[in-house]
Amino acid sequence: MANWTTASRKALTEAMSVDTWLPEKMPEYAQGFMYMLGSLTASSFVALIISGVVLAANGPASWSYNGADRFAAAVHFWSVQAFFFFMMLHLWRVFFTGAWRGGRRETWLLGAVAMIVAIPTAFTGFLINGDFYSQWNAVQAKDGLNALGLGWVNLPNAGQMFGMHVVVLPLTLSLIIFGHIYRVRIKGVVPPYPITQEAATSKEAK
């Protein structure tokens, strides 16, 4: 790579282009509810960020004595349920449609990484909530992490969990989700399988 700046300019031109992010045309097959599931997942993540920022701004445990914060906590709770619900539906859709075809393998991989990072992101949120579910799972789940040699993540330490849940994990997850969506936009949505292999081949032969 001769010139890093030239290469960066080239990459960023595509990455920051409105054509990439705000398409005015879509393939005809990418229509309907099945093609809303990814956006519904991303929208749930936006709801998580907004309600999470409200909660973080007011400080841990403020929901326990402030009604408005308790409502924000409830929105945050149902947003995470929505996030995983739509993510799972999206996962089924992309699996059943073989969405890794045509140079989209890394897109799939990033989605899978987003899913596995989302799990501790959600879990650390449960841990800093402070109710019995928090208390029990902090103490119970520590054994698994410790056994795997990941004991530096000390689940019973709510301070560390706060930093993990509010900064480290959501920031990581945001970057992965960004990469996933970026690749979806760059590579486009996977075209359908030919209905029969023979039909497709004969059409191409013409």
CB atoms within 10 A of CB 186: 14
Q: How far is the CB of 76 from other proteins (least distance, A)?
A: 8
Pick the closer one to other proteins by CB: 2 or 22. Answer: 22
Pick the closer one to other proteins by CB: 21 or 171. Answer: 21
Spatial CB neighbours of 144, under 8 Å, sequence gap ≥ 6: none
Residue 23 binding other proteins, by CB under 8 A: yes
Residue 158's Cβ-count burial label (10 Å; 0-12, 13-18, 19+) is buried
Residues 158-177 that bind other proteins (CB under 8 A): 158-160, 162
Residues 126-145 that bind other proteins (CB under 8 A): 126, 129-141, 143-144
Stretch of residues binding other proteins (CB under 8 A), selected from 3-11, 156-164, 171-179: 156-164
Residue 193's Cβ-count burial label (10 Å; 0-12, 13-18, 19+) is exposed
Residue 58 binding other proteins, by CB under 8 A: no
For residues 167 and 67, give the distance between their C-alpha atoms in angstroms, rounded to a whole number.
Answer: 25
Q: How far is the CB of 128 from other proteins (least distance, A)?
A: 10
